[in-house]
Structure 1
Amino acid sequence: MATLGLTDNFVPHISERGSLWQFHFVRSLMAMAVMLAVAAVGLGSLRPRRPWAVAGRSLFQAGSMLIYFGCLSVLPIGVVVAGLFTSPLFVVLISILFQGKRVGPWRWCAVGIGFAGALLVIRPDPSALNWVSFAPILAGMLYAVGAVATRAWCEGETTLTLSAGFFAALGVFGLVGMALLPGTGAPEGHAGFVWRTTGPLDATMLFWFAVQAVGSLIGIALIFRGYLLGEASHVAVFEYSLLVFASFWAWVLWGQEVPPLALAGMALIASAGSIIALRSDDPVPPGRTPAGDGP
């Protein structure tokens, strides 16, 4: 989350002149080149043990990111981020409804506190809500399915394999967007990010693509590793910390001040992580008593 919070602050350098679809395609090519080099020196394998499971999981998470970035062009960023950060709530619900796991009150408390803290940080405007505003919630649900599937479907796969699947899916989405969009009539500046098919590939743009490729590869690989090692409803709460790190880097890099209400939200997010770390154990199947997730 700290790595992604840093790299997300550089997206405006790309969105002002670039294309979302070209960005996903070129960044995926760069990330795949890095992973191929890592695999070539014997530090991992790109070959999946269960190709269909890895492909299915990758489509869910890549689809989530596609909706998320697409919504940024038509909705206020606070609404979009709030929708995506419903994913920990969906992770808990999926764990209960489809995996038969029981989540105790401490886990529910942490998720609720984290979501409340996220709302204080991003402060979505209720007057800006319409039916399109529910699309980011769909992104949050797809992300949650992919998060749960990381361990449920892909246990035993390597982090490198899952990362390759994710970037490959995003690269395909980017290529499809470049091929199908008309490429004419796109607005100037940041507003045209989603509607352009291509943008300039000069040295400056390639540099920022490379920064995004390396930074997102590191951050996403660590997230996937976390979901492989830990229970999804446990790990998901810590993703709220992205808002804290993104705000910190925005203050360091751009001098953007954080209002007191947002600071209170960050304190709630930190509290949610502390609850999970100190009081919450992995959920267990029905019929067994949780060791540390009870009252």
Structure 2
Amino acid sequence: MTAASSASTPSASAQMKGILFIVVSNGIFGLTDALSKVLTGSYPPGEILFFRSVFVFVSIAVMVMAQGGWRRVQIVNWRLQWARGLLLAATSYIFVVVLKHLPLADLTAMMFISPLVLTALAPRFLGERVGWRRWTAVGIGFGGALLIIRPSGEGALWPMLLAATMPLTMSIRDIITRRLAVTDTATGMMICSTLCVMAGGLASLPFGWAIPTWEGLGLFALTGTLQGVAQFFLVYAFIYGEAVVVAPFRYFLLLWATLYGWLFFGAFPRAETITGAAIVCAAGLYIFYREMRHGRG
């Protein structure tokens, strides 16, 4: 290893900080999902998104001011920012709608299909070459997704089919994120996306909202604030640690979701869901490994 490369590589201590940040971030994200599921019992999806986003924005604003103020926020490509924000708003709305009907672990497992979809879209939209190994991993991963969806399983199928659209919207959002990362800061992306989700939630007001109780407002505030904190933890995870070290720990979110599903709702994933999630995660990790190897090669 050359002096230059060793200087640019984070120390073991920094790598551990990165891992800790992403594991804690996932734990907080999982908790906000569980709290949002609790809220779906009393409030419509749009109202949940609006109030949650208000407190997300407040927490982001406080952290921005603590880190040097708004001058450090850089937004150049407004058109792509709003497109990304609208995709996130659509994904968030679908998530909250189906969250009321699906176990937390099942829905979280569905979200991890997005790296497979992103790989499938990469040749067309990112100009990236995808070799046969990654295509094989995509195919195997989609097989695992079918186990999660359970086309012949128990209960209503429509929530899972609706949830199956999320990996597509998330993948398109990630494609836009890669392009924005060249010119815009991560904080700028968080601010724009939060405002879009807030506006999308507010647009549902004519369809009927429930008057929040003090307890409901407290849950909105707690959920939104925690989500804002989790976003900053996620950013710092990749500041301290290399992506090749930190990114695989994103899959800890599935463990958190399983834990919260059991603690809050007494739900535990079925054998088919566990098997399907394991296949999807393994395929996603292999794709990530191949991308890192290709990038370094």
TM-score normalized by structure 1? 0.71
Q: How many pairs are equivalent?
A: 265
Aligned to 1:205: 216
User: CA separation of 1:222/1:118 partners in 2, compared to 1, >3 Å: closer, same or farther?
Assistant: farther
CA distance in 1 between counterparts of 2:250 and 2:145 reads: 10
Are the counterparts in 1 of residues 99 and 107 from structure 2 also a CA contact under 8 Å?
Answer: yes
State the shift of 1:122 in Å. Answer: 5.8
One-letter identity of the residue aligned with 2:53: S
Does the alignment pair 1:22 with 2:47? yes
Q: 1:139 aligns with which of 119, 143, 166?
A: 166
One-letter identity of the residue aligned with 2:32: T
Aligned to 1:107: 134
| 1:243-279 CA-partner distances (Å, limit 9, x unpaired) | 3321122234444344444443454355335534655
CA distance in 1 between counterparts of 2:151 and 2:230 reads: 26
Structure 1 window deviating more from structure 2 (152-161 vs 275-284): it is: 275-284
Structure 1 window deviating more from structure 2 (46-55 vs 139-148): it is: 46-55
TM-score normalized by structure 2? 0.71
CA distance in 2 between counterparts of 1:96 and 1:37 reads: 40
Are the counterparts in 1 of residues 36 and 96 from structure 2 also a CA contact under 8 Å?
Answer: no
Gaps of 5+ in 2: 1-25
Aligned-pair identity in percent equals 24
Structure 1 window deviating more from structure 2 (247-256 vs 113-122): it is: 113-122
CA distance in 1 between counterparts of 2:176 and 2:200 reads: 20
Which one has the bigger helix percentage? 2
Aligned to 2:261: 250
Within a 5 Å distance, the mapping from 1:115-194 to structure 2 comes to: 115-121=142-148, 123=150, 125=152, 128-129=156-157, 135-178=162-205, 180-181=206-207, 183=208
Give the secondary structure class of the aligned counterpart of 1:281.
helix
Within a 5 Å distance, the mapping from 1:209-248 to structure 2 comes to: 209-221=220-232, 242-248=253-259
Q: 2:286 aligns with which of 270, 275, 285?
A: 275
Aligned to 1:13: 38
Are the counterparts in 2 of residues 79 and 124 from structure 1 also a CA contact under 8 Å?
Answer: no
User: CA separation of 1:270/1:55 partners in 2, compared to 1, >3 Å: closer, same or farther?
Assistant: closer
Are the counterparts in 1 of residues 94 and 166 from structure 2 also a CA contact under 8 Å?
Answer: yes
| 1:205-241 CA-partner distances (Å, limit 9, x unpaired) | 122112211232244456678899999xx96x87665
Q: What CA RMSD, in Å, does the superposition of the two structures yield over aligned residues?
A: 3.8
CA distance in 2 between counterparts of 1:199 and 1:283 reads: 53
State the shift of 1:57 in Å. Answer: 1.4
State the shift of 1:91 in Å. Answer: 0.9
Aligned to 1:38: 63
User: CA separation of 1:225/1:212 partners in 2, compared to 1, >3 Å: closer, same or farther?
Assistant: same
Gaps of 5+ in 1: 184-196, 285-289
CA distance in 1 between counterparts of 2:284 and 2:167 reads: 19
| 1:155-192 CA-partner distances (Å, limit 9, x unpaired) | 242221111111100100111101x21x2xxxxxxxxx
